[in-house]
C-alpha cells in the first residue's frame, strides 16, 4: 500500500480506500487496497472526496 504523508488530512472508508489531501482538499488523492501508488482524483471523484471530508468533520 502507498505511504500517506504524515501531515495529510485523511478520510478512511470501510472498504479500505483512503482519501487524502495535503492542501485542504484542493487536490485529493486516493489509496486503494492492493495498489502500490496513490492516484490523483479529478472531476466527480474529487468532488466526492471533498464532500466526504467536509461531512466527516
Is there a domain that residue 44 lies in? Answer: yes
Is there a domain that residue 2 lies in? Answer: no
- Tell me the pTM: 0.88
pLDDT for position 52: 92
How far is it, in rounded angstroms, from Cα 56 to Cα 51? Answer: 8
Is there a domain that residue 35 lies in? Answer: yes
Query: How many structural domains compose the chain?
Result: 1
Residue 57 pLDDT grade (very low, low, confident, very high; cuts 50, 70, 90): confident
Is there a domain that residue 40 lies in? Answer: yes
pLDDT for position 12: 94
pLDDT tens digits, residue range 1-53?
788 999 999 999 999 999 999 999 999 999 999 999 999 999 999 999 999 99
> In angstroms, what CA-CA distances link 30 with 7, 23, 46?
15, 14, 9
Is there a domain that residue 49 lies in? Answer: yes
Q: Which domain holds residue 26?
A: 9-56
Amino acid at each position: 500500500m502507498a505511504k500517506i504523508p504524515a501531515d495529510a488530512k485523511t478520510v478512511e472508508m470501510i472498504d479500505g480506500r483512503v482519501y487524502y489531501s495535503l492542501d485542504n482538499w484542493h487536490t485529493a488523492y486516493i489509496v486503494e487496497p492492493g495498489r502500490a501508488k496513490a492516484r490523483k482524483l479529478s472531476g466527480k471523484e474529487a468532488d466526492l472526496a471533498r464532500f466526504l471530508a467536509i461531512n466527516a468533520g
